[in-house]
Amino acid sequence: MAEQNKEGGAEFTAKIIDGKALASSVRARVKTEIAEIKAKNSSFAPSITIVQVGSREDSSIYVRMKVQAATEAGISATHTKLPDDITEAALLSLIRDLNADPSVHGILVQLPIPAHIDEAKVTNAIAAEKDVDGLHPENVGELGKKSGNPLFVACTPLGCMEMLKSVGCDPKAKIAVVIGRSNIVGRPMAALLTAANATVTVCHSQTPSLSHFVSAADIVVAAAGHPNLVRGEWLKKGAVVIDVGTNAVEDKTKKAGVRWVGDCAFEECVKVAGAITPVPGGVGPMTVAMLMSNVLTSAKRFLTLSTTRPAMSYLPLKLETPVPSDLQIARAQKPKHIALVAEEIGVAPSELELYGENKAKIKLDVLKRLQGRKNGKYVVVTGITPTPLGEGKSTTTIGLCQALGSRLNRLSFATVRQPSQGPTFGIKGGAAGGGYAQVIPMDEFNLHLTGDLHAVTAANNLLAASIDARIFHEATSTDEQLFNRLCPLKKGTRAFSPVMLRRLKKLGISTTDPTQLTPEERRRFVRLDIDTATITWQRVVDTNDRFLRKITIGQGAQEGGMTRQTGFDIAVASEVMAVLALTTDIEDMRERLGKMVVATSKSGEPISADDLGVGGAMTVLMKDAIKPNLMQTLEGTPVLVHAGPFANIAHGNSSILADIVALKLAGTHPSTPDALPGYVVTEAGFGADMGAEKFFDIKCRASGLIPDAAVLVATVRALKMHGGGPDVVAGKPLPEAYSKENVPLVTAGCANLARHIENTRRFGVPVVVAINRYSTDTDAELEAVREAAVAAGAHSAVVCDHWARGGAGAEDLANAVVAASEDPARPEFKFLYDLNLTIEKKIAAIAKDIYRADGIDMSEQAKAKAELYARQGFDKLPICMAKTQYSFSHDPKLKGAPSGFTVPIRDIRASVGAGFLYPLLGEMATMPGLPTRPAVYDIDLSPDGQITGLF
């Protein structure tokens, strides 16, 4: 389109910048690019949510235009319409939800919004990486910086720059005047022109001698909101005019009574300007087109985050000899801000919940975004039968991850259990690793962390309180009284809560109307008839407190003499903790918590948490605890700390969710087939006969994940003990046999190592033996262990020194793990037993095939429990053996690789919600006690606020 003009007899052509045509080309370009990306990646689905507050007609028109443009470009657009009187808090809450939704790439709140809502708070609340309107302070600030890098630029200024480009106007070395100083147009426009090397003057409607500034300008951008402000006589001949203004002026010739004009007197300016935008049909269409372009940019950025491996930065170690205390080493290292760790591993800010500078929670929404990724490599760290001092599995787990990262440049995650405060304040100490292979900060790791243990404690004890309250109320109320209290009249009607409907379904009662229950159905519904002798649920506290092992409750005057004996367990022994470790999502956790069986009724029916009405409330208490916790090692590699189930009566492994999240973050995308996968290294508690067997048969069944390799940790010290050396007792000096070379003693003890290797290989998992070096070990002893390991079928055996040297001390181990996990000749993974076997046969399979016992001897109590659980439908659950960790057998005195013994099964208990049965092979202490001199004697707070004495 052109306008013919004459001046001094000479004609020239003023270019009319057709915004509609240009916008159409931009939208076509966006549509084409979306289609091309989607052809390579079917999961690519750009999305924008437009939030409109109120019912202003002009806002509705603009929103409809944007939704239509998005749809035509292949962008999913959601229009969320909210009432005028919505509260500011409710709007901000919605924005937070959209920030957290990985399927939403752009968020736009249509302006203006009602006066009772702070516009700045709203625009600031939108995550910078989804701020397709370009109004977030981070984006605005970056735009204003020299060499700044905003994620987004406001759409209208961006469109104006595109229009300048369309008429061949390069702002470089030109004089530009921007009339208007709004955050939406004027200020960002001036910044863009400045960045393009124009000399920019920002004016406004109150600028004195405005015509003076305009007359010198090569580029004029008018965005003051004043009709016909800029006159043709002001313009420099040939200037490019971008008219952003959209103003309604009275015009009785128009059906609507108004016509739309810009800030420039078009009929005058078109005779002078070299190029000019019309109103309407100029900047408006380009604003919408550039919004679509911004959404595409955002979606591509999220795709890149989901498909490419990030670059990690590693923290150098300053090694000292002799090695300082764990706390001294941890304090000497300055950790990266946890937000930086998250960024490096590919977690978006909206997927992160910060708990200070050193720890954070990762939202499970990250799994939706990464669902197209192939998992990384999966490695489990286990060990030989340990001494009471431990053989360094946690330290090896951390050291291996440091080596995989800082030495081999493979993205690596450690997934470890959260330690209980019982051992931390008792005799064992913390569980952050040790030496130069630690999780930092170790004090935050060992104390409170993000409160998950407290959530477990609260949920567990809520259920315990509900049990005794229900027994009390059933004993002191008639059926009618119970019914009226459980389903009270509210505004003349009664209703079942959702958890009550679960109980009705269990009872086979189909009605959902409380008034339709027969007297017999009412009785069955309200009376659980708990047999108090069968209650297995105890209260918990995360402190070693031996005097809570057996207590009597109900001694208050108001309890009417309804006393009973019960006790406390340590918090990590709660089935709630086992549920947290084995759950796969929030819905699964809700189901598992509700299914937990706490007792049996007098008629032999299992009583669950949902029968007591508490399953939903427990889930609410656990809703944040389900998110894995992010920390880092001394060398800056990521660590997910999540769940800490007891390793005797439970499966002793960190959470499935932490493993799944880490495996996706460490994985590769089909669009990058040549990318090397990262590694996830998880630790199984105690020796391989316990932690690893439970990892394979319980955790892997629940998760569906298959490990690529196993690391078996061994020490010369432990092997000497299994070869016939003196007892190793925690808190006492090691006997001399452990500090002097004795190769025959080591060789004799390697029978224990060989059996663990054989057991692990029978699951179809290659084994790498990590021999943790101690200062007293000799080369001959270490070589004897290495030779025995390889002879027993280990893929390889490596001497490690990560405690003293960090990742550098585990580099050979890292290379061995990579080789084993990528070996194409590895056999197929298989479980030890079929779940359809009887309870007795599954127990026998573990006893014979893993422990090498001749058989099992089930007590009458155990037989009765097996029959009960079969009647109740729990016989298809896997088995979680509860036994000593200090022997393959039930007897901690039987060292080495014993055989020819019979395993006594004293009792069987059910963790139905967690999803396993646990036979008791002896007395299992679920509440440890404090020693004479616990660690509390050393732990204190210095005047400068530093924690001292942790180890």
pLDDT at 647 (0 to 100): 82
In a domain, residue 334? The reply is yes
In a domain, residue 396? The reply is yes
466 shares its domain with 558: yes
What does the pLDDT look like over 495-513, one tens digit per residue?
A: 999 999 999 999 999 999 9
- What's the CA gap between 722 and 102, in Å, rounded? 53
Picking from 5-9, 267-271, 517-521, which range would have the lowest pLDDT averaged per residue? 5-9
413 shares its domain with 504: no
- What's the CA gap between 430 and 646, in Å, rounded? 15
Under DSSP, is residue 7 helix (H, G, I), strand (E, B) or coil?
Answer: strand
- Which residue, of 771, 789, 822, is where some domain finishes? 822
Indicate which CATH number applies to the domain containing 487: 3.30.1510.10
What does the pLDDT look like over 88-130, one tens digit per residue?
A: 999 999 999 999 888 899 999 999 999 999 999 999 999 999 9
344 shares its domain with 431: yes
| C-beta neighbour count of 249 within 10 angstroms | 11
In a domain, residue 341? The reply is yes
120 shares its domain with 228: yes
Which pair of structure tokens corresponds to residue 724?
Answer: 């016939």
Contact call for residues 596 and 608 (beta carbons, < 8 A): yes
Residue from 342, 346, 335 nearest 360 by CA: 342
- Which residue, of 768, 790, 822, is where some domain finishes? 822
pLDDT at 73 (0 to 100): 93
Is residue 345 pLDDT above 60, yes or no?
A: yes
In a domain, residue 947? The reply is no
435 shares its domain with 486: no
- What's the CA gap between 351 and 353, in Å, rounded? 7
Indicate which CATH number applies to the domain containing 911: 3.10.410.10
Angle formed at CA 578 by CA 577 and CA 584, multiple of 5 degrees: 105
Confidence of residue 311 (pLDDT cuts 50, 70, 90): confident
421 shares its domain with 486: no
Confidence of residue 9 (pLDDT cuts 50, 70, 90): very low
Contact call for residues 405 and 732 (beta carbons, < 8 A): no
Is residue 919 pLDDT above 70, yes or no?
A: yes
pLDDT at 827 (0 to 100): 86
Q: How many CA atoms lie within 13 A of 459 on its CB side?
A: 33
The pLDDT of 465-479, averaged and rounded, is 96
pLDDT at 937 (0 to 100): 80
Confidence of residue 784 (pLDDT cuts 50, 70, 90): very high
How far from each other are the two terminal CA atoms of the chain, in whole angstroms? 79
Q: Is 66 among the catalytic positions?
A: yes
Q: Which of 15, 52, 133, 336 is catalytic?
A: 133
- What's the CA gap between 551 and 54, in Å, rounded? 61
- What's the CA gap between 842 and 116, in Å, rounded? 66
Contact call for residues 704 and 761 (beta carbons, < 8 A): no
Burial class (CB in 10 A: 0-12, 13-18, 19+), 663: buried
Under DSSP, is residue 519 helix (H, G, I), strand (E, B) or coil?
Answer: helix
347: left (phi over 0), alpha (psi -120 to 50) or beta: beta
Percentage of the chain surpassing pLDDT 90?
82
Which pair of structure tokens corresponds to residue 828?
Answer: 């197929």
The residue whose two tokens read 């950025």 is 301
The residue whose two tokens read 């036994």 is 883
The pLDDT of 581-592, averaged and rounded, is 97
Angle formed at CA 62 by CA 59 and CA 64, multiple of 5 degrees: 110
Task: Give the total number of structural domains in the chain.
Answer: 4
- Which residue, of 259, 279, 298, is where some domain finishes? 298
The pLDDT of 362-373, averaged and rounded, is 91
Confidence of residue 147 (pLDDT cuts 50, 70, 90): confident
Considering the chain, what is the average pLDDT of its residues? 93
In a domain, residue 122? The reply is yes
Rg, Å, the chain Cα set: 35
413 shares its domain with 392: yes
- What's the CA gap between 136 and 108, in Å, rounded? 11
Burial class (CB in 10 A: 0-12, 13-18, 19+), 469: exposed
Indicate which CATH number applies to the domain containing 429: 3.40.50.300
Instruction: Tell me 315's DSSP state.
Output: P
In a domain, residue 912? The reply is yes
Between 452-475 and 575-582, two packed helices, what is the crossing angle to 10 degrees?
130
Burial class (CB in 10 A: 0-12, 13-18, 19+), 565: exposed
Which pair of structure tokens corresponds to residue 763?
Answer: 């699951």
- What's the CA gap between 435 and 319, in Å, rounded? 10
Structural domain for 122, as ranges: 15-298
102 shares its domain with 169: yes
* Cα 54–chain centre separation: 36
- What's the CA gap between 571 and 453, in Å, rounded? 7
Q: Which of 15, 66, 361, 699 is catalytic?
A: 66
196 shares its domain with 94: yes
In a domain, residue 649? The reply is yes
pLDDT at 951 (0 to 100): 65
Contact call for residues 130 and 103 (beta carbons, < 8 A): no
Identify each DSSP E strand in 777-899 by its residue range.
796-800, 855-858
Q: Is 513 among the catalytic positions?
A: no
In a domain, residue 844? The reply is yes
614 shares its domain with 653: no
- What's the CA gap between 24 and 765, in Å, rounded? 58
Picking from 55-64, 284-293, 403-412, 611-620, which range would have the lowest pLDDT averaged per residue? 55-64
* Cα 224–chain centre separation: 47
Under DSSP, is residue 528 helix (H, G, I), strand (E, B) or coil?
Answer: coil
294 shares its domain with 437: no
Contact call for residues 432 and 416 (beta carbons, < 8 A): no
Confidence of residue 427 (pLDDT cuts 50, 70, 90): low
Indicate which CATH number applies to the domain containing 285: 3.40.50.720
241 shares its domain with 184: yes
What does the pLDDT look like over 608-617, one tens digit per residue?
A: 999 999 999 9
